[in-house]
Homo-oligomer: A and B are copies of this chain.
Amino acid sequence: MTSLPLSDALSAVQRTTPLVHCITNFVAMNSTANCLLAVGASPAMLHSIEEVAEFTRLAGALSINIGTPSPHWAEGMQLAARTANESNTPWVLDPVAVGATYYRQTLSQTLLAFKPSVIRGNTSEIMTLSGLTHAGRGVDATASTDEAREAAINLAMQQGCVVAMTGVQDFITDGTQHWRLSGGHALMPRVTTLGCALSATVAAFVAASPEAPLNATLAALTSFAIAGSRAGQQAAGPGSFQVALLDALYQLTPTDVRQFTGLEEG
């Protein structure tokens, strides 16, 4: 069992309005800020080396998403991650499409050196990252669930962090404890950047409960799973889904989290 009740992790976000410093991609900027505000956190998007170090020190957590990288942004990401590492600010890495280009792989590797608290990605991204840190392992597009699970555990152990691998079923591990999470809705992949927004939401939860990153991560994923499931009941398509998701995140209560049955150990 977990030490911090997941419902308390949501309460902590709603009570403390944690400031989350986001360096994210251009597509996800607005939806990420709105998800953070809906769940009760305070988002701040800024990326330039002229100011990131000063700001990361003020924030409760940092969230880095490499979705639309370029050299100036990569420098900002690295400086922010370094600052977070030095100031013990928890931070989350979202390695969007890391397998797609060499540039993303190099950038991700430099960021991993600053020890993220949590890595949130899909199966392919987690396997690529795991392969970057474990010589001799490549990405297999036809990877079985067992291989993906093993990659996530290896990455968590190697990095000493929480890994949240999301998909139809999510797998969350800190290398020692492992969890599977079911929920959400089939429309979620038809709305852009929900995964990006989820990563920033994980950062908000870790900011509010920095002593328990695994349970904070589980609580953030649980919140999205409940809100996604409710939004799906009302939605006629991805447009109305996105609207309903923000409303559902806003309406979410600790009791909702306590009653969630989609989480299983193992």
Q: Tell me the A residues contacting B by CB distance below 8 Å.
A: 25-31, 33-34, 37-38, 43-48, 50-51, 54-55, 58, 67-72, 97, 100-104, 189-193, 235-240, 242-251
Contact = CB atoms under 8 A, between A and B. Distances in A.
Report how many copies the assembly holds. Answer: 3
Contacts of A237: 38, 246-251
The interface centre, meaning the residue of A25, A51, A244, A249 with most chain B CB atoms within 10 A of its CB, is A51
28 contacts: A25-B45, A26-B29, A26-B45, A27-B45, A28-B30, A30-B30, A34-B191, A34-B192, A34-B238, A34-B239, A37-B189, A37-B238, A38-B237, A46-B67, A46-B69, A47-B70, A48-B103, A50-B101, A50-B103, A190-B250, A235-B247, A237-B246, A238-B246, A238-B247, A239-B244, A240-B243, A240-B244, A240-B247
A221 to B, nearest CB: 20
Contact of A33 (B27, B48, B51, B101): B27
Contact of A37 (B51, B71, B190): B190
Contact of A190 (B38, B44, B68, B100): B38
Given A33-B192, A237-B250, 19 more contacts: A27-B29, A37-B190, A37-B238, A44-B100, A46-B68, A46-B97, A48-B103, A50-B71, A51-B100, A51-B103, A54-B102, A235-B247, A237-B251, A238-B247, A238-B250, A239-B246, A239-B247, A240-B246, A242-B246
